[in-house]
């Protein structure tokens, strides 16, 4: 038969897509499922942004843009980094890609060679190690448990760095834990990095605006300007403006890296969708009320979910400060048996039983590199969230 590329052959399909397939199968067989597995806001894209997309079509903005993106959008991105992150950015050192994911892919594919190492704190977004794998490099997974708030400590970072380390990936607020790094925590990591000039930093800030309790957002290039020449700051409109389907992400970093990413993109997509770029331009330059509204909604939902999950016997969940995920320990459920007779040997078994017997879809923590946990995405209306939490409580109460 035909052989696959060996790096692709060794990559695992996305665990979150697998859960979505299982949900679809359950629903097709007639079951009612509340899905707490989605990685996207449930809101519609704001009206003025949708209008801008339609206006772009009507105005005939339907041809290629420059590979790196529309100049007006790149200027708006530079202004965003200045305004919101205190980064003094020239529009020429920005790049527009087809989603935040492609920013990450471009950066890693442009720089990694076989044998290179990428430090990935766990729990991690499932795509990081797989993209590293596709690039033929090696992920160095660093376990970051509940005792450190699921965050990388300076000592753990120091211990993970080798002469082969090419990148450190940071993600705050975090998928899957909702953890947020404060200024002092980033400064302490920066101190370690300053002693290792071979290490680049990828700062995945895609959940920047979903941050609660008045906590202030910081990104590492802002906290430590001496790292600026080796930090790629990545962001996008997907989560902030409920624009996941438009596929627009962006980044800024050192000129050599942005140039290399543009070179790669020129042979891959030729650039992001023109129509979507006009919509993203409207999002970044228009009223930012939507961001405030969605933050209020998500904070309320977080409070509802965390409160109710902690009432489920055997589940424990700390209060996350950002994103739209709660990462609940299910350690006390391991070893128990469900009403239907399923043995809960792992967090994956818990997730499967919750889907089959409680009609609630979540994702197991071990898929993100740390078990036994379940990730609960609360990007749903309050009523569905309450119903799901109630079903989880009932499920936990009937275990033996």
Q: Which residues bind ligand PLP (CB under 6 A)?
A: 39, 99-101, 125, 171, 175, 204, 206, 236, 238, 244, 249
Structure tokens at 297: 């909604």
**Helix, strand or coil, per DSSP, at residue 11:** coil
Kind and range of the H or E run holding 235? strand 231-236
User: By the 8 A CB rule, do 121 and 369 touch?
Assistant: no
Position of tokens 């906290």?
A: 223
- Pick from 233, 243, 181: nearest CA to 49: 243
Neighbours of 384 (CB within 10 A): 16
User: By the 8 A CB rule, do 135 and 108 touch?
Assistant: yes
> Dihedrals φ, ψ of 256, to 5°?
-60, -35
Pick between residue 207 and residue 395 the one whose CB is nearest to ligand PLP. 207
Tell me whether the omega of the peptide bond preceding residue 173 falls within 30 degrees of 0, making it cis: yes
Pick between residue 193 and residue 210 the one whose CB is nearest to ligand PLP. 210
Neighbours of 163 (CB within 10 A): 7
Pick between residue 171 and residue 321 the one whose CB is nearest to ligand PLP. 171
Q: How far is the CB of 100 from ligand PLP (least distance, A)?
A: 3
Pick between residue 137 and residue 240 the one whose CB is nearest to ligand PLP. 240
β-bridge partners, 233: 203, 252
Q: How far is the CB of 240 from ligand PLP (least distance, A)?
A: 10
Radius of gyration of the chain (CA): 21
Structure tokens at 239: 């989560």
β-bridge partners, 167: 118, 200
Q: How far is the CB of 337 from ligand PLP (least distance, A)?
A: 34
Pick between residue 101 and residue 209 the one whose CB is nearest to ligand PLP. 101
Pick between residue 238 and residue 362 the one whose CB is nearest to ligand PLP. 238
Which residue is at the shortest CB distance from ligand PLP?
Answer: 99
Q: How far is the CB of 363 from ligand PLP (least distance, A)?
A: 12
Pick between residue 99 and residue 372 the one whose CB is nearest to ligand PLP. 99
Q: How far is the CB of 204 from ligand PLP (least distance, A)?
A: 5
Structure tokens at 140: 């160095």
Q: How far is the CB of 194 from ligand PLP (least distance, A)?
A: 25
Q: How far is the CB of 277 from ligand PLP (least distance, A)?
A: 14
Position of tokens 């933050």?
A: 295
């Amino acid at each position: 038969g035909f052989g696959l590329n060996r790096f692709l052959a060794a990559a695992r399909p996305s665990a979150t897509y697998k859960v979505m397939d299982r949900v679809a199968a359950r629903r097709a067989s007639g079951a009612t499922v509340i899905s707490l597995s989605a990685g996207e806001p449930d809101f519609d894209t704001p009206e003025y942004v949708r209008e801008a997309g339609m206006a772009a079509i009507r105005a005939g903005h339907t041809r290629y843009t420059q590979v790196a993106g529309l100049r007006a959008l790149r200027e708006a991105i530079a202004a965003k980094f200045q305004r919101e992150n205190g980064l003094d950015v020239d529009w020429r050192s920005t790049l527009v890609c087809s989603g935040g994911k492609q920013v990450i892919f471009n950066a890693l594919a442009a720089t990694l060679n076989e044998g290179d190492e990428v430090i990935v704190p766990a729990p991690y977004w499932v795509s990081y190690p797989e993209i590293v794998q596709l690039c033929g490099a090696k992920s160095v997974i660093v376990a970051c448990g509940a005792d450190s708030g699921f965050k990388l400590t300076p000592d753990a970072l120091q211990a993970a760095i080798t002469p082969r380390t090419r990148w450190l990936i940071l993600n705050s607020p975090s998928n899957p834990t909702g953890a947020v790094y404060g200024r002092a925590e980033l400064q302490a990591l920066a101190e370690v990095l300053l002693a290792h000039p071979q290490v680049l930093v990828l700062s995945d800030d895609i959940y920047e605006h979903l941050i609660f309790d008045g906590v202030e957002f910081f990104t590492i290039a802002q906290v430590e300007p001496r790292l600026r020449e080796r930090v790629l700051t990545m962001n996008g409109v997907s989560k902030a403006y409920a624009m996941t389907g438009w596929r627009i992400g962006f980044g800024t970093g050192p000129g050599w890296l942005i140039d290399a990413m543009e070179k790669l993109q020129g042979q891959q997509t030729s650039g992001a969708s023109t129509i979507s770029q006009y919509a993203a331009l409207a999002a970044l330059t228009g009223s930012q009320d939507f961001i405030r509204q969605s933050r209020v909604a998500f904070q309320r939902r977080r409070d509802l979910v965390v409160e109710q999950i902690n009432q489920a016997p055997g589940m424990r969940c700390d209060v996350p400060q950002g994103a739209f995920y709660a990462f609940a320990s299910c350690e006390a459920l391991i070893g128990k048996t469900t009403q239907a007779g399923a043995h809960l040997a792992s967090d994956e078994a818990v997730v499967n039983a919750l889907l089959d017997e409680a009609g609630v879809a979540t994702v197991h923590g071990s898929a993100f590199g740390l078990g036994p946990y379940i990730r609960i995405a609360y990007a749903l209306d309050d009523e569905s969230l309450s119903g799901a939490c109630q079903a989880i409580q009932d499920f936990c109460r009937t275990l033996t």
